Structures are given as structure tokens and as C-alpha cells.
Chains A and B, each alone.
Chain A
Amino acid sequence: MKSRVERYQAGEHQAVWQELRALAGAVRDPANLADAEKVVELTFARVRSNLDSLIRALTEIGYAFEANSGPEETDWALELRLTKALAYASSRSGKQRETALAVFEDPALAWIREEKIVLPRRFFPHPQAPGIRCVDPDAATEIDSLEQRLGGPLPMTLKAWFVDCGTVDFRGKHPFLNPQSRVAGVRTARVGDCVRMNGDGHLPLFSDWQARIPDAGADAVSTGGRYFLDVLREAFTWAGLPALAAAANKPQRELDFIRSKLVDF
């Protein structure tokens, strides 16, 4: 008999997740845990890939992300520090780095992570640069401390979201997809903000979706019974603009193009 991991890899995404949800807290039993964790990992690799594809596709078709527009205040002291450190790290590398962001792996730039520096916008997609998608490098630590405080775990999907995907902001405008920014783009809360806001057994991730916590289950669920993965699927179906589901004239051409770039999870 095939394992859940094998079945997930074979494309039985929804069926495997139905089973994991049905297990509730028992998903953490030794007999299920390794399999479940692997499925979560595979799922969120696909979610992350979808996020990158979605951002790329939206940018390609001229979507103007709010997070990338507007004035940015310059922190001159940080600019000075960054310029010198980046020049030093670049000169040390000796050979061409594979990507522009690879230079940040140099130990000489470790202070950026240690001091939780918020980088200027031009460094996006560095996870510490504010932008459409942003990953807190200390998300796992923040979640551990929250779990200790709660006396119970966060659902596996929620933890994976914060650690692998971070926070996203799809607010913006586009002449056909979102004229005059009429439709609200998905905007998720940062892990740090969620941790601080928590106190009543709910973790507010989206404006209209709060996860019940603590929850030992595999997939996070809201008080209304909506599972997190279903919310994500719906968000991707509508190109990060789930309110389009209720729109009278749907921008079918754009939606079809974007959907063609995404994978099922």
C-alpha cells in the first residue's frame, strides 16, 4: 500500500489532505507524524512556488503592487553601512555569484539577520526587504515561543506558512484585473504581529480569517470551519484577489494566464 507521501506526490493532493484533517490531533502520533510532516513540506514547497509564480505573472502583466510603489524614507546610516559591507562581501567572493542575493550569505553580512534589519525596498526579494513577499528569518523561533506560551502547538500548515512563505501583500492595481484597486488583494499578517495580537485563542492571518489556536491538527481551521489550505487555494484561483469571485465581470483572460502558471497543492 502506498504511503500518504507517495500518494501526494502522485497527485492525490486533496484526498491525502482530507485524511490528514480527519486525523485531527492524532496526526502527531508517531505512526503518522513523519508522513504528515513530509506532506506538509511538499505542500508548502508548491505553495511557495505558486507565490513566486503568481508574483512573477502579475508583474509580467503590469500589476502595480502597492508594496512596491510610493515613496520610501532613506535611512542614510543604514545605507552607508550596507554600501560598505556589500562592497566588502562582493570583493571577497572573487567569482561571480549565482544570484544577486547570494552576496547576503557572506558572514560579513550576518549582522543584517542578527539585528533584524529591515532592508531598503530595492533589495526585494530578499526576505528582509519589505515587499510583496517577506519572510521573517526568525519565524520558527517566534512560533516556538508562542507555542510554549499557548501550552500547545500551532497547526502544521500555519507554521509552515510563516516559516516557508512569510507574509504577502497583493494589494495593488491593474487596468483589467483590479481597476482603481477596487478589489482588495490578499494581505497576510506578519508572524511577529500575530504573536503579539494573540490572546483569545485566535490567530488573525487574513482580515476575514482567523485560525483557532492552539490546534494539534495538520491543517489550520477557522472558527467558521474553513481550512487554511482551502483559503489559500481560493486565493490562488483568483490571482491573489479572492474578492474577484464575487465580481460581475471577471477578467478571464488574466485569470486564465495566471492560473496556467500555478500548480495544484
Chain B
Amino acid sequence: MRSRSSHKASASFIASSFVCHPSKDSCWFRRSNRDRLNLQMSNPLLDRYIAGEYRQVWRDLVDLGAAVRHELYYQDATEVTAETMRRARHNVESIIRKLDELGYQFSSGVEERLDVDRHLAIAQKALQEHNERLASEPRNAREAAMAQMLERVKLMQQQMSVRAPQIGELKSRLAQRRRRFQNRSLENPDVFSPPNGKTSPELNRFEKALRGPLPLSLRSWFELVGPVNLMGRHEVLNPQDGDRAPDPLVIYPFKESAESDFGEDLEFEGETIELALSPDDLTKSNISGGGPYAMTVPDPAADALFLNESRNTTFVEYLRRSFAWGGFPGWESSEARPQKEIDFLCEGLLPL
């Protein structure tokens, strides 16, 4: 990177070269051509970012649109993005360590999904009670639909009972795994899976299949941070069966997410796809929710909208908000929040 003093010297030299000299022939644009490359070596955006203009620099990057990949900005922009994601990585690791200290029980969400027999029993009970209150024969379309639903639930229960042994085995394996990583959640790949040597080639392959790039922010997240899953249980931070949705930070692995929607060959139709990145806040709390948080890709911009998120915000802004609440941004909208625990989690986090 060029030093500030040489940058200033060069700028003033160029300014002087553009003064029109009516009395003689001046090489009006020639001198700037020689100096152009030198000026491009500076990183004013990174300098501003490090100086604390976090939001403004990201706003400027986003306002550039696809031009963020222009030779004038690309290097500077990728360095800002990398700096942002290095900070995000620090924050993620710090939060996971502190959650261990708080006795947080991480769970990948698979355990909850394996509890399907419990959910089916609840549904069956509710439907049964409802139907018992009704006449023996359905009197209208709604009652007919309810009766049909009850039959389906019974059928699903039968199917699940056949699979009970496998589910039991899976549950016990998951419990074993949880015990193995007890208080060492940073090493648990279900919680945090930092990038490795395969990440960049896989991202390249993914971008090739998309026929376009991921936003700089998202690519950099996967290159420097990686998939994160803060879902789990804690009596105050993430109470189960509560009426709140703390929205623990989750970012899916891009490969698995894309492959689950589009197959291993990543055969996309159309110009863009919505890449699912996280369950929405309600789904994370086992409440029937909306669509997953997602991003429309490809997108050559620096950052893009984090779709289905209630604030209609960008990915970086969502991360910012998430870290401002110790990884549980859903507490922002609640007055009865576990402030002590949130303050503990936020301690030492770096601003993005």
C-alpha cells in the first residue's frame, strides 16, 4: 500500500498538471495516464473503515452496485470485506466460547426435528379432541378437512413407529456427540465449521454453476468465517416453548444449502436463485414460520438483501445487529430480555 504522503504528493502533482495554460500547449491529460496506477494502489475505503466509518463505508460499497468489481475499487472493497469478516469471525468465536461458559446447550436443530413423534402426538391429541366435539359425520368442508388431517396424522404416526429404532439410534449418536464437545463447542462442526482448503475451490465451482458471483460479503463470510449454528437451549437466552424468538445466529453451509435445493449437480434454471442461508426466527424457535433467510444470487454487488428478515436489511447489517445482541438479535424487540447474559456475550466484540 502506498504511504499517505506519497499519495498526497501525487495528487497535488496531478492537480497542477490539469491547469490550462492558454499561452502554451499543455499535455492536458497525458501526465495523469502515467500516474494512474500509482493512485490505484491506495486503499481509502479500508483506511476509512479501520478509522471507524463502518456503516458509511459499507453504504458506499453497496451504492457502487456491480461497479464494486471495477479495477478502481475491487482490491479496496475486498480488503474491507475481508476485514469485516475477520471481525465477524472473532465475534463468532467469542460468542461460542462465552455461550459454553453460560452452560448453553448447543443443538443443531436435528434433535428437535427428531422429536417429530412428540409433535405428532400433540397434533393428534388436538385434532382428536376437536373431532370428538363434532357430530359423527362432518357437516361442512372444514370439518371434513379436519377429519382428513387426523387420518393423515395417524398414518404418519404409524410410519414413524416403524422408524423408531433408527431414530433412537440417531438421537443417541447426537447425544454422544454433544457430550464429546461439551464446553468445547468451537470444535464442534455442528456449531462452527471454519473454512478449509476446499472452501475456495468449492465457492468457485458454485459461482461457476450460478454463472455469476456471490456478493462480496457472502463469499468472504464463507472464506473467512464459515457455517455457524447458535441454535440450542438455555433457560433465559433461548428458552424452549417460550413466546419469544431470540433468532440465534445461523448461517448454513452454502454447499449443502444449494445441493439440498438444486441437487449435487447444481442445475439452476433461470438467471437467479434464492440461496437459503438460515431458518427464519420463528422456525428457529420451533414455531411454524415463514421462508428461510436467503439471498438472491448471483449478485456482483458488495452486499445484498437478507431476504425474509423482518428488518428488510442487508447481510452485513443483519450480522451487525446479530452481534449487537450477542448473537441473538430477536431479543431486540423484547423488553423482558436477559440483559445480563447479552451484555456478557457482547463484551469484547468488534464492530463491523
SS class of chain B's interface: helix, strand, loop or mixed?
A: helix
A78 beta carbon closer than 8 Å to chain B: no
Of the candidates A18, A62, A257, the one whose C-beta lies within 8 Å of that of B22 is A18
**Residue in B11, B32, B36, B61 whose Cβ sees the most chain A Cβ within 10 Å:** B32
Knowing A61-B67, A62-B65, A62-B67, the reply to whether A14 touches B25 (Cβ < 8 A) is yes
Binary B-proximity of A238-262 (CB < 8 A = 1, otherwise 0): 0000000000001011101101101
Identify A176's interface contact among B18, B36, B60, CB under 8 A: B60
Report if B26 contacts A (CB, 8 A).
yes
Complex: how many Å from CA A259 to CA B72? 13
Q: List CB contacts (< 8 Å) of B41-82 with chain A.
A: 42, 44, 59-61, 63-68, 70, 72-73
Given the complex, which residues of B lie within 8 Å of A257, measured CB to CB? Answer: 36, 40, 72
B266 close to chain A: CB less than 8 A = no
By beta carbon, the residue of chain B nearest A234 is: B20
Chief secondary structure at chain A's binding surface: helix
Q: Given the complex, which residues of A lie within 8 Å of B20, measured CB to CB? A: 14, 230, 233-234
Q: Given the known inter-chain contacts A14-B21, A237-B18, please indicate yes or no for A256 contacting B36, CB distance below 8 A.
A: yes
B179: Cβ under 8 A from any A Cβ: no
Interface contact A252-B63, CB-CB below 8 Å: no
The reply to whether the CB of A73 lies closer than 8 angstroms to some CB of chain B is no
Q: Which residues of chain B in 150-199 are interfacial with respect to chain A, using CB atoms and an 8 Å cutoff?
A: none
B333 CB within 8 Å of chain A: no
Name the interface residues of B211-238: CB closer than 8 Å to any CB of A: none
Which of B20, B65, B66, B67 is most buried by chain A, counting CB atoms within 10 A of its CB?
A: B67
B287 near A: Cβ within 8 Å?
Answer: no
Q: Is the CB of B40 within 8 A of A175?
A: no
- Complex contacts, A233 vs chain B, CB 8 Å: 20, 28
Closest to A16 in B: B25
Judge whether A75 is part of the interface by a CB distance below 8 angstroms: no
Please provide the chain A residues from 78 to 133 with a CB less than 8 Å away from any CB of chain B in the complex.
Answer: none
A25 interface residue (CB < 8 Å to B)? no
Inter-chain CA distance A18–B65, complex, in Å, is 44
**Cβ contacts under 8 Å, B14 to chain A:** 252, 256
The answer to the question of B24 belonging to the interface, with a C-beta cut-off of 8 Å to chain A, is yes
Q: Taking the complex as formed, is A15 at the interface, i.e. its CB lies under 8 A from any CB of chain B?
A: yes
Query: Which of the residues A60, A64, A175, A256 comes within 8 Å of B32, measured between beta carbons?
Result: A256
Within 8 A of B (CB), among A32-71: 60-62, 64
Given contacts A12-B25, A14-B21, contact A61 B72 (CB under 8 A): yes
Q: How far, in Å, is B89 (CB) from chain A's closest CB?
A: 27
Q: Does B110 contact A (CB under 8 A)?
A: no
Contact across chains for B42 and A260 when beta carbons are under 8 A apart: no
Are B72's CB and A175's CB within 8 A?
Answer: no
Q: Which residue of A lies closest to B61 (CB)?
A: A175
Complex Cα–Cα for A13 and B29 (A): 13
CB <8 Å contact, B70 and A175? no
What are 20 pairs between A and B in contact, CB < 8 Å?
A11-B25, A12-B25, A13-B25, A14-B21, A14-B22, A14-B25, A14-B26, A15-B25, A61-B67, A61-B72, A62-B65, A62-B70, A174-B63, A230-B22, A252-B11, A253-B40, A256-B14, A256-B39, A264-B28, A264-B30
Among all A-B residue pairs, the 8 with the closest Cβ atoms: A62-B67, A175-B60, A264-B28, A62-B64, A175-B63, A259-B32, A260-B36, A252-B11
